[in-house]
Structure 1
């Protein structure tokens, strides 16, 4: 059944389901009122409510899985303009700058973290990375971060965790907000929001224009280190209360980005002096329609139709004669229809049941494909005792491109004392094969190597053989083309939360994650030009494990201090087996030296030690509020430089570094707020290995509410 037809059928059934509403049963634990006072710059003591961890409103303190919330007050106090800036300084999170600014969590790369906007997936990844620089924070009410596999509720890509950016619903009469921000490197950010309610109607409109001139840490090169761009975002939402039991909602978002800069390329394709103009254009959009029906006996039925699209258009041409060197166009579409039923079973169970269907397509120069699937999930939140919560969930995903996947999860929270609670969870996550791993058909015009997705490998090799381009087969071509299995994981988490004294709170989590069936490229033939032909196979196994500690202190009513420390390991088990067997060497002083397991740094870009500090003080002279954040990242592996395929010597690391940011805010005439801030105050740069850090930057922002 098509998604639109499913939604229309659900709407058509509403009159039959419109039973008089009954009182909703109380959740297993009371949920605090999180409405902040209008004159409060931020919220310190209110209990945080989350929806991402269980797909329903629950107190963050009552959830058995690691979840954290970045509230609107913290977003504004930090002065972050883009999602990248906001998440870069959060404990346990780091930004990986490869094909965009992606999020790395618990030792796993950006491709294993699901990014949501108002509970729906954002599409448009490049080499697995979803660029968080595409998202503005100006209209974000809060961000929920769930650590650990959550595929039992959300399916593919939720292997490392889920990050949900949630926009605010209109509250009150007609009003709005205007912001203007100016910063280093020609950064200008202008945004406006208008919202209001009238009887059964609620609505809001938001627009944002963000421009940056980029920066250049290596002036000798023709291309800038980070090119500038202009980004536009428009977003709207509306809600209609059709009756005491029925609510209709609509959401839509459109974002565009344009980028144009010069690069130098020589005739053979390497870096040179021939000036070329690089033009990159991007458009992405998403829209959803939702109907919510309150049923009898405290049950609620929700139907959602969601669709999203992503388009890129890139070209490279010579400046002197206009000759086009390369062009590429990509179009991606994601459609989904879902129905969720939620309600109470007796006094101790809250049941959630959902099912839906999806369709995804991609049309690009090097890959074209379509996949269809369906899913169903069930979750039971059981509270046998006032001090004990048990949540179990299970999801089944079926797909036209890969084998069905069953993803279970169990979480337990036990609070034997008022000031101490223990939590533990075990669950499975998975990541579906990417379109490029299935449908790619690419031959590099300069180097001459070729890469085929699994569905293209047999046909591509047959064509090369008929053309006389194959010298040697490393594998029988008839054995190729087997469906790729999803990458899967099993993860364990255990910890506790304790109120030590007064307003001091400590949370400690230990985790272990085993990831199997990692998809990697394998050479299957050698061409007559000496280059290889690659395809994709399930091969590697890795593990990540670590400890996360969070300490919150309240020395005074006006000062909050948050300290975070993370230790992590992320290593490839195949490499460890080779090291244990004594099969890995490096060259030192003209001799081969055996590499020991202790020399192995693990997966690149994962520091073993990171720490964060945040101080927020709201009682400074002249009514100022100050927010200071510091991040310490220990040294991390960068890349193999001695040819043995792993990071094992000092010159292959990125050095340890610190970053300090400060933001000062002042409220003027009740409706205006002025913010001044500085980032990377000690001006750390490493143009070669960390080009994503531009050095010290400054900004000024004025926010007006009406």
Structure 2
């Protein structure tokens, strides 16, 4: 483990002793923060309101209280602390973090805001750091295939950001400002009001930073200075008891300080949703949604003022949808939905503008054939203008063995064709340190162009592999879980397996002379991820809540396993310099997957001080970045492994005069920096920029 163990245990022990000592002196009081709440409900897993504890699917719920106590400001920061979720930079450090769930890459995880999708995967990931969380009510994460409700982009899971709904007749809200390391400033203002049949809310957020550098050997920064703004407004109207209207608009703008080059990003969306309760058993929902994501990048040579790269990206999605929820008795609910997708993409890096449309319909029946058995059966059909029609069925069930024990399981399938980015992208990021991403159809020409410009330090793949055909993919996902509630303990155990055919994954094609990498796409002919997730919650202390989570993950290319078993794969032993036949136990698995991940969270409320404190620890075991010895797999002889490491985050907040809260803390408290194994011998590239201190003032009104 690449961290100072003495420091780790010192901070851990000190914090534990401190909170237990204070807890022993305070009066008997039950902490409301993170206590198991039987009324916690989620909407993403079934598209209907369901109690969290009754769902037959693996779901993570992050409540507003946890967001406020941790002091995080962006979506990627809070997701990184959850069980079975890994933040990965598929397009190198600084390229924007995406999310990996159950070993499945971010391309297959659908991100929603209030139930509708966001777009903008211009450089590989949907960068989750662009989503401010100051006005969020809760975050719901559904693990495993969800294509039966949300389509092909949800093969690996769904993340739904649910914004807060106004409830007070008086104007209420908050104003806050946070200062942290790297001259990072985050300010936001939110207010809302509910007046009889009408309600509204407004959220404004600004973030700016000087960025940071992970490579000391060059003059450029890994993440350049930038500023961004988020504005989100929502309206609620209930003209009658049977009809309610919700309308929202969101606008995001980001500008990197890289003059004379430019890099800007815009994200706008608008939604109107009408709920019609035609009868006590019949509900109709009419939804109209539009979103537009735009980037404008221009890289200019400082010496010659020559334009090195011009990259404009303009993606639009328009989607109408109608849903019917029909109750049959107290526990049976039928959901039917139909909709249309119209999408266009204009991009400088594509030879032509592209567009497509699709029609889809889905049906789901949520019923209880027995008093202790809940079954959800559903499926979705997509008819795409460019690809073959696809059917995505799913079956889930939960059985209550006893008042304390329940078992649950699900199986679902899906289909996903390569998108235009994976085929035709030709991208070099001027703002993120100069990494490149090439689609399969253009990667050979892209590599040759970089070689001609002397920008390639070494190739990670054989040139014969460049430009090979990229095929469509399909998958089947299985989840089987056990839930135990006994007194103050809640335990969730989930065993999962996701089997892919022709999985489209990212890989490193080459290392560049500036310390960055060139990324491309590859089919894994037969790939699977499988493992175990376990989470334990304990709220038996008066004001202390403990949460621990662990994931064991195996992610392999099945065809490569067969080749190894047949004695067809060889590697060079760096110790003896001899070529040896590879054994099965020497095959590590797919890139960027850790065998073990662990998280621990302790939330403590100190009533005597009107304060709260929390400690969060994340551990990730070693993982490999790419094959370096030429046998096309990641094995124990490769020298591209990042050593296991832990990050410790801490925050403390105290409220003054009821409406003023001062908070301070540290992310990466142990100042872990690490080392990127792909760096050249005469340079060092870090994994993490180090400790990040912050303080925040929040005023409620």
- Same-fold call, TM > 0.5? yes
1:44 equivalenced with 2:43 (yes/no): no
Q: Is the 8 A contact 1:634 1:657 kept in 2?
A: yes
**What's the counterpart of residue 495 of structure 1?**
481
In structure 2, what is the Cα distance between the partners aligned to 1:547 and 1:352? 31
**What's the counterpart of residue 14 of structure 1?**
none
Q: Is the 8 A contact 2:81 2:616 kept in 1?
A: yes
Structure 1, unaligned stretches of length 5 or more? 1-38, 263-276, 458-472, 523-533
**What's the counterpart of residue 564 of structure 1?**
549
Given the alignment, which residue of 115, 122, 126 partners 2:118? 122
In structure 2, what is the Cα distance between the partners aligned to 1:702 and 1:601? 46
Given the alignment, which residue of 307, 326, 339 partners 1:356? 339
Q: Is the 8 A contact 2:83 2:550 kept in 1?
A: yes
Q: Deviations along 1:275-328, whole A, 9 cap, x unmatched? A: xx5421101111111111111252010010101111111111122342222211
Q: Is the 8 A contact 2:478 2:497 kept in 1?
A: yes
In structure 2, what is the Cα distance between the partners aligned to 1:160 and 1:518? 12
Cα gap change, 1:220/1:209 in structure 2, threshold over 3 Å: closer, same or farther?
same
Residues 567-606 of structure 1 aligned to structure 2 (within 5 Å): 567-588=552-573, 589-606=576-593
Q: Deviations along 1:345-392, whole A, 9 cap, x unmatched? A: 234410100000001111112322101001000000111222111111
> CA shift at 1:80, angstroms?
0.7
**What's the counterpart of residue 702 of structure 1?**
697
Q: Deviations along 1:567-604, whole A, 9 cap, x unmatched? A: 00011112212212222211233432111121111111
In structure 2, what is the Cα distance between the partners aligned to 1:485 and 1:640? 22
In structure 1, what is the Cα distance between the partners aligned to 2:521 and 2:223? 31
> CA shift at 1:507, angstroms?
1.0
In structure 1, what is the Cα distance between the partners aligned to 2:407 and 2:595? 26
Given the alignment, which residue of 238, 243, 253 partners 2:240? 243
1:168 equivalenced with 2:133 (yes/no): no
> CA shift at 1:337, angstroms?
0.6
1:255 equivalenced with 2:252 (yes/no): yes
In structure 2, what is the Cα distance between the partners aligned to 1:535 and 1:499? 46
In structure 2, what is the Cα distance between the partners aligned to 1:133 and 1:329? 21
**What's the counterpart of residue 262 of structure 2?**
279
CA RMSD, aligned part only?
2.9
Cα gap change, 1:443/1:314 in structure 2, threshold over 3 Å: closer, same or farther?
closer
In structure 2, what is the Cα distance between the partners aligned to 1:169 and 1:536? 41
> CA shift at 1:474, angstroms?
9.3
> CA shift at 1:438, angstroms?
5.0
**What's the counterpart of residue 676 of structure 2?**
688
> CA shift at 1:536, angstroms?
8.4
Q: Is the 8 A contact 2:676 2:687 kept in 1?
A: no
1:326 equivalenced with 2:309 (yes/no): yes
Q: Deviations along 1:439-462, whole A, 9 cap, x unmatched? A: 558999x9xx996659xx9xxxxx
1:182 equivalenced with 2:179 (yes/no): yes
In structure 2, what is the Cα distance between the partners aligned to 1:698 and 1:443? 32
**What's the counterpart of residue 376 of structure 2?**
391
Q: Is the 8 A contact 1:158 1:431 kept in 2?
A: no
Cα gap change, 1:450/1:550 in structure 2, threshold over 3 Å: closer, same or farther?
closer
SS of the residue 1:215 aligns to = coil
Q: Deviations along 1:180-227, whole A, 9 cap, x unmatched? A: 100110000000012112231111111100011111233331111222
Residues 451-470 of structure 1 aligned to structure 2 (within 5 Å): 453=441
In structure 1, what is the Cα distance between the partners aligned to 2:686 and 2:162? 30
Q: Is the 8 A contact 1:66 1:147 kept in 2?
A: yes
**What's the counterpart of residue 611 of structure 2?**
624
SS of the residue 2:215 aligns to = coil
Q: Deviations along 1:478-523, whole A, 9 cap, x unmatched? A: xx99xx76422111111111124x201111110111011324799x
Cα gap change, 1:509/1:43 in structure 2, threshold over 3 Å: closer, same or farther?
closer
In structure 2, what is the Cα distance between the partners aligned to 1:450 and 1:178? 43
In structure 2, what is the Cα distance between the partners aligned to 1:442 and 1:558? 51
Q: Is the 8 A contact 1:661 1:677 kept in 2?
A: yes
Q: Is the 8 A contact 2:31 2:543 kept in 1?
A: no
Given the alignment, which residue of 29, 49, 65 partners 2:57? 65
In structure 1, what is the Cα distance between the partners aligned to 2:440 and 2:75? 34
In structure 2, what is the Cα distance between the partners aligned to 1:643 and 1:598? 18
Q: Is the 8 A contact 1:402 1:486 kept in 2?
A: no
Residues 300-379 of structure 1 aligned to structure 2 (within 5 Å): 300-367=283-350, 368-379=353-364
In structure 2, what is the Cα distance between the partners aligned to 1:555 and 1:451? 53
Cα gap change, 1:485/1:694 in structure 2, threshold over 3 Å: closer, same or farther?
same
Structure 1 length normalisation: TM-score? 0.83
SS of the residue 1:74 aligns to = helix
In structure 2, what is the Cα distance between the partners aligned to 1:165 and 1:428? 24
Bigger shift: residues 509-518 or 543-552: 509-518
**What's the counterpart of residue 517 of structure 1?**
502
> CA shift at 1:422, angstroms?
0.7
1:156 equivalenced with 2:152 (yes/no): yes
Q: Deviations along 1:646-698, whole A, 9 cap, x unmatched? A: 22136331111111111111111111221111111111102535845221111
In structure 1, what is the Cα distance between the partners aligned to 2:218 and 2:441? 35
**What's the counterpart of residue 367 of structure 2?**
382
Q: Is the 8 A contact 1:491 1:511 kept in 2?
A: yes
Cα gap change, 1:492/1:434 in structure 2, threshold over 3 Å: closer, same or farther?
same
In structure 2, what is the Cα distance between the partners aligned to 1:535 and 1:645? 14
1:100 equivalenced with 2:87 (yes/no): no
In structure 2, what is the Cα distance between the partners aligned to 1:474 and 1:567? 35
SS of the residue 1:214 aligns to = coil
Greater RCO (Cα-Cα under 8 Å, separation 6 or more): 2
**What's the counterpart of residue 649 of structure 1?**
636
1:549 equivalenced with 2:534 (yes/no): yes
**What's the counterpart of residue 465 of structure 1?**
none
Q: Is the 8 A contact 1:217 1:687 kept in 2?
A: no
**What's the counterpart of residue 664 of structure 1?**
652
Residues 77-116 of structure 1 aligned to structure 2 (within 5 Å): 77-97=69-89, 98=91, 99-116=95-112
In structure 1, what is the Cα distance between the partners aligned to 2:618 and 2:103? 17
In structure 1, what is the Cα distance between the partners aligned to 2:520 and 2:544? 56
> CA shift at 1:95, angstroms?
0.5
Bigger shift: residues 300-309 or 215-224: 215-224
SS of the residue 2:210 aligns to = strand
